[in-house]
Structure 1
């Protein structure tokens, strides 16, 4: 499968959009393959679920094991309490019996009767009551409910011996378990207050206390034993009830099996009443791996040991662990199976869509993009189908637009060709005009309104320019002629200052008129130059730089001529006013007239370059030459 992600231009891939640092450190082969990425995520999820499940199972197992251990420790503590209460009750009983004042008499029958009365008032587990006296010849029975008087203690095999001694009145001691005709018993002894040589012995049967032990009820295969400091079993709970076969037997051959006894002895006098060893190896105590709870019996060197097979005590813990592991495995397999099916279906759908998009990329827009899925993948198929349809529509519209553009381009080319032709014609006319031929005009044909407007405005401008140039040309000639007349007639003017003054005044008036015309012509030329400059900017292919420069020079010259005419007018007025007073000032008039001639001659040369129609030429209607001629006639 391809599984390649091909994001569109300007868009980031899914990894880049949401991955950040993860997308940076992930190898590209993994990022390109959806199935591989999904498989890795699936494996990570399965491993995570597995680790979490195992950790949770272990935590539950540990918690449950702790609960069971605490519960079993409580069982050992309860069994120890039962034994301690039994010991304490028996101690109080024998202490109470020994405190009576009636034990000092030597009447055996009375003593036996008193012992029987006391026995009847004690608990049902009392086997026998004895009054014993330590004598020089040994320890003998003074009176008893089951033994003959004067019986030597050493001959009856009791657990209490002749060397039993007491440090104070009311002290109670006890023996180990020993066998009597009525069964196993424990003897409790306390001295008689009136005499230190006599003490009361009460033998208690161990059958009832052994039956009260509940080790076998706590767990299947369990049992409780009480072991003394010599590791001899004092109490042995039988699963069938009564006393077990291990009573008065060695608890264990030693080694690790006696470890609970050592740990129980370490608890004596401490805050903790009991303890548990969860795992003990199979041996002579229990034939399989077992659990033992222990509790010391305070006031004795005895230890309560509660035994049970490990499977019976921690079977629930093992089941919890097993169920947790099985549940975790099932969950991992479920995630893996469902994820694999989901991933396969998703990857297959994405690969199929990728192949179809590749066909679209190659130009096949008729590819079938459809899916029966209604989820995100199905909507993605629908989105690609819509995109394909929209793309086809855009292509069709683009083709139509292309055709329209081709038609518009052909039309534009025709218009461009026409404009180019007209531009060449206009350029030829403007070049001729720039060369000085003001008789050329641009033709209008009605094909293009803008070009016709340019031609009309240009033709109008040239008409005005032609008129102005013709007038300037005639004016320049007249000015030159007037200068000659002024120079040649200075002497006559000196003699006839009044006529000169009048002629100068008339020249001044004409100069004023000509100045106005020159300024108007200069402004028209400036406007013409600006229009030609705009035309040049809009039509860079038309070369008009030289013509524009020539027009600019002409406009400058006209402005200077206008300025000179103004100066001449002022000077003429001055001369006219002073001619009547000082004839000597005519020399200044002559020099100024010569300057006017110098300015008029270049202007005439420049204006002579322009070719104009004769009817547009300006006829000077008055001036110094005409005035002088009239004077000559007179």
Structure 2
């Protein structure tokens, strides 16, 4: 929404307010116009529907009027007098019927159809006249009577009356009955609910047949035969339409059985009077809305914009840092007035906050502005700031004093470090000149210098000990070199002996190689035999595995059998208990039946006593005797039923007892079966255990055979390896002799090298003598060398033992 509305509208409340008012006004006018059109359309539809309904009702009434006169004319033609041809009788009948029909019937005529002459009539003046003189036009049917039994004419004028003729033929001759009716009575019945409205009946040729205004009757219809309403009515349609040329609403409805259409007219001004009133009311409402919105815009909107403008200007000034702004008292007590008052309070609040902040910035902690109460988070923050500033200044002063003390301590420490550095430098120069007994003073009032002194002294001690160790080792190297020289001579002699022995070993290795080849062939044959045994043992192991598996499966089935037998035993026990309970209940039923039998016996005796009492009571006891007989009869039937029940209960008891015995025998057999199954299971388990033991033994044999086969193959492989080794030994023993000779030459060279090493050791001792070391270090070094010598002696002894 913000992206749609331009900034120029968003910045000004008055413009937005005016725009909203305009939008609401346009919406109100639009909705009012739409509602007015809808209401107008509905009212127009209601007017058309009302006129259409009235037109259809009146058209139906005309149809009924025509049908009634057609029926009356048809009935007149059926009278016997009219068929007889007797003029006197015909005249009497016509007069009688004329009087009976009433005032709507103008006259009844007896007519000759061939000549059209009126032979008899209730109107004496009409006798002798012809139909052609009346110039009749037929609205329905014709005098040929081909498609209708009664012909209906169009309206025609006769004297001062507008008449319609109804003609029906008389059976037996070319004669007919013609009845004329005055249609002006229909015009008097027309209903015109709308003021200044009128109704007319117009035929297909555009002639007004019926009208309340007699001056237009039998004249051409004002809108002509081509009128839209007339055309629609002739097509059998019902409806209403507007004639803007005449300013009328015309409703149309066809009159069935004729070529007439009923047309109801009403002025549009009168027909749509309610619509006009509603339209005017909507117009007044819209104008009132316009005036109302204008008043709102000029009063509420303008005053509100003025107040908001003042608040905006003051807020901008405050945003620029100006707190000396004045808020005009608008005397308003609504939300806008309350907002101005609240803004004024805000300005005062900000002034106080600004004054306190300025005082704190200037470090004027005794300023009067700081004594004023500032509520809210800002006030709490300023108070906390005040407290923190005072504490900070105090801390700064204390830190300044501490800094002075620290500077003095740092200067003293610097002087001490410079002094100790000079001392340490002198000691280090002495040690660099070769005096390893020099040491730094470790008693220093500084942890870093102390660590340096300790580390330097430890380094000199380690270096001193190292030099002593090198010196001792050098001396020992000289001694050892002499010993090694003597040993080398001995090794030379031993090497010559070794060469001789190696030649002998080569000859033995040749003989050993031949023996090993023969052993390898024998071991190959034995390996093939062991593999055959292993294959047979595999088959036996597979069979024992299957036997063990079948035994385990049989054990499982036996376990399941035991479970099922336990269930059968439990079921049998429950069945026995139920049958025994049934037996006891049957006995109880038997007792109840015996009680019923006793009651029936007593009832029979009671009935007998009642019969005796009834006989003694004579006639007064006849009814009592009848009841006693019935009771006696019922008691006898009860006894017979109880005997039948007792017999059946005896049978059930016998069957129940037998069933109990059978169930008990079945329980005993189940128990015996359980024992047999348990024995079978025990036997099967023993067999399974034996099979499993046998299987374990066979598996052990199989495993052992496999291992033996594997071992044999390994032995064959090892023998072959030994053969190869012996061949290699033979080849190598031949080269060892040459190597022994070469070793003798090498030992001579080693002896020369050892003599050179002895000379270098003497030179090293001369160099080490230039370093000054302490006596304690020498003693410690001697102790370490003694330990090393002991360890060397022990190691030499062990080496001699190994040789």
Q: Once the 2 structures are TM-superposed, how far is the Cα of residue 158 of structure 1 from its aligned partner?
A: 5.8
Q: Once the 2 structures are TM-superposed, how far is the Cα of residue 157 of structure 1 from its aligned partner?
A: 2.9
Distance 1:104 1:479 in 2: 180
* Contact kept in structure 2, 1:95 and 1:172, CA below 8 Å: yes
Q: Once the 2 structures are TM-superposed, how far is the Cα of residue 140 of structure 1 from its aligned partner?
A: 0.7
SS in 1 for 2:134: coil
Q: Give the alignment partner of residue 448 of structure 2, picking from 527, 541, 546.
A: 527
SS in 2 for 1:521: coil
Distance 1:478 1:173 in 2: 166
SS in 1 for 2:175: strand
Q: Once the 2 structures are TM-superposed, how far is the Cα of residue 280 of structure 1 from its aligned partner?
A: 3.5
Q: Give the alignment partner of residue 437 of structure 1, picking from 401, 419, 437.
A: 419
Q: Which residue of 2 aligns with 1:535?
A: none
* Contact kept in structure 2, 1:170 and 1:191, CA below 8 Å: no
Given the superposition, is the C-alpha separation of residues 231 and 575 from structure 1 closer, same or farther in structure 2, using an over 3 Å criterion? Answer: closer
State whether structure 2 residue 236 is matched by structure 1 residue 260.
no
Given the superposition, is the C-alpha separation of residues 591 and 124 from structure 1 closer, same or farther in structure 2, using an over 3 Å criterion? Answer: same
Q: Once the 2 structures are TM-superposed, how far is the Cα of residue 317 of structure 1 from its aligned partner?
A: 1.5
Aligned-CA RMSD value? 4.3
State whether structure 2 residue 361 is matched by structure 1 residue 384.
no
State whether structure 2 residue 20 is matched by structure 1 residue 41.
yes
Distance 1:100 1:321 in 2: 64
State whether structure 2 residue 90 is matched by structure 1 residue 111.
yes
State whether structure 2 residue 296 is matched by structure 1 residue 304.
no
State whether structure 2 residue 204 is matched by structure 1 residue 229.
yes
SS in 2 for 1:368: coil
* Contact kept in structure 2, 1:69 and 1:278, CA below 8 Å: no
Q: Which residue of 1 aligns with 2:249?
A: 291
Given the superposition, is the C-alpha separation of residues 586 and 380 from structure 1 closer, same or farther in structure 2, using an over 3 Å criterion? Answer: farther
* Contact kept in structure 2, 1:479 and 1:596, CA below 8 Å: no
Deviations 1:407-436, CA, capped at 9 Å, x for gaps:
8887777667666666665565555455x3
Q: Once the 2 structures are TM-superposed, how far is the Cα of residue 521 of structure 1 from its aligned partner?
A: 3.4
Q: Which residue of 1 aligns with 2:165?
A: 187
SS in 2 for 1:165: coil
Larger Rg: 2
Q: Once the 2 structures are TM-superposed, how far is the Cα of residue 473 of structure 1 from its aligned partner?
A: 6.1
Deviations 1:361-403, CA, capped at 9 Å, x for gaps:
4513452365544444344334423432332232233223223
Q: Once the 2 structures are TM-superposed, how far is the Cα of residue 51 of structure 1 from its aligned partner?
A: 0.5
1:344-363 correspondence runs (5 A): 344-361=302-319, 362-363=321-322
* Contact kept in structure 1, 2:331 and 2:337, CA below 8 Å: yes
Distance 1:525 1:575 in 2: 42
SS in 2 for 1:24: coil
Q: Which residue of 2 aligns with 1:165?
A: 143
Worse-matched range after superposition: 584-593 or 65-74: 584-593
Given the superposition, is the C-alpha separation of residues 194 and 237 from structure 1 closer, same or farther in structure 2, using an over 3 Å criterion? Answer: same
Q: Which residue of 1 aligns with 2:792?
A: none
Q: Give the alignment partner of residue 109 of structure 2, picking from 130, 147, 153.
A: 130
Q: Which residue of 2 aligns with 1:23?
A: 2
State whether structure 2 residue 227 is matched by structure 1 residue 245.
no
Deviations 1:36-81, CA, capped at 9 Å, x for gaps:
1111111011001111111111111111211211111112211211
Q: Which has the larger helix fraction?
A: 2
* Contact kept in structure 1, 2:206 and 2:225, CA below 8 Å: no
Which blocks of at least 5 consecutive residues in structure 1 are unaligned? 1-21, 239-243, 283-288, 439-464, 484-510, 531-550, 579-583, 598-619, 625-634
State whether structure 2 residue 173 is matched by structure 1 residue 211.
no
Worse-matched range after superposition: 199-208 or 104-113: 104-113
Worse-matched range after superposition: 317-326 or 47-56: 317-326
Distance 1:568 1:63 in 2: 130
Distance 2:2 2:432 in 1: 94
Q: Once the 2 structures are TM-superposed, how far is the Cα of residue 233 of structure 1 from its aligned partner?
A: 1.1
Distance 1:342 1:588 in 2: 118
Q: Give the alignment partner of residue 359 of structure 2, picking from 400, 404, 407.
A: 400
Q: Which residue of 1 aligns with 2:195?
A: 220
* Contact kept in structure 2, 1:169 and 1:191, CA below 8 Å: no
Q: Once the 2 structures are TM-superposed, how far is the Cα of residue 253 of structure 1 from its aligned partner?
A: 6.2
Worse-matched range after superposition: 125-134 or 245-254: 245-254
Q: Which residue of 2 aligns with 1:563?
A: 462
Q: Give the alignment partner of residue 594 of structure 1, picking from 770, 773, 786.
A: 770
Distance 1:395 1:621 in 2: 85
Which blocks of at least 5 consecutive residues in structure 2 are unaligned? 364-385, 478-757, 779-803
Given the superposition, is the C-alpha separation of residues 165 and 358 from structure 1 closer, same or farther in structure 2, using an over 3 Å criterion? Answer: same
Given the superposition, is the C-alpha separation of residues 98 and 84 from structure 1 closer, same or farther in structure 2, using an over 3 Å criterion? Answer: same
Q: Once the 2 structures are TM-superposed, how far is the Cα of residue 194 of structure 1 from its aligned partner?
A: 2.4
Deviations 1:248-295, CA, capped at 9 Å, x for gaps:
111126487x222122222x2xxx4x211123312xxxxxx1111111
Distance 1:224 1:347 in 2: 65
Distance 2:435 2:305 in 1: 108
* Contact kept in structure 2, 1:174 and 1:189, CA below 8 Å: yes
Given the superposition, is the C-alpha separation of residues 558 and 332 from structure 1 closer, same or farther in structure 2, using an over 3 Å criterion? Answer: farther
Distance 1:139 1:413 in 2: 148
SS in 1 for 2:145: coil
Distance 2:93 2:197 in 1: 43
SS in 2 for 1:249: coil
Distance 2:80 2:328 in 1: 115
Q: Which residue of 2 aligns with 1:278?
A: 242
1:367-382 correspondence runs (5 A): 367-368=326-327, 372-382=331-341
TM-score, structure 1 normalization: 0.64
Given the superposition, is the C-alpha separation of residues 301 and 474 from structure 1 closer, same or farther in structure 2, using an over 3 Å criterion? Answer: closer
Worse-matched range after superposition: 145-154 or 181-190: 145-154
Distance 1:169 1:114 in 2: 28
Q: Which residue of 2 aligns with 1:62?
A: 41
* Contact kept in structure 2, 1:191 and 1:200, CA below 8 Å: yes
1:502-541 correspondence runs (5 A): 521=442, 527-528=448-449
Given the superposition, is the C-alpha separation of residues 622 and 381 from structure 1 closer, same or farther in structure 2, using an over 3 Å criterion? Answer: same
* Contact kept in structure 2, 1:43 and 1:336, CA below 8 Å: no
1:139-158 correspondence runs (5 A): 139-148=116-125, 151-154=128-131, 156-157=133-134
Q: Which residue of 2 aligns with 1:332?
A: 290
Given the superposition, is the C-alpha separation of residues 596 and 175 from structure 1 closer, same or farther in structure 2, using an over 3 Å criterion? Answer: farther
Distance 1:527 1:229 in 2: 139
Distance 2:243 2:461 in 1: 133
* Contact kept in structure 2, 1:178 and 1:185, CA below 8 Å: yes
Q: Once the 2 structures are TM-superposed, how far is the Cα of residue 99 of structure 1 from its aligned partner?
A: 2.0
* Contact kept in structure 1, 2:249 and 2:265, CA below 8 Å: yes
Distance 1:476 1:315 in 2: 135
State whether structure 2 residue 75 is matched by structure 1 residue 96.
yes
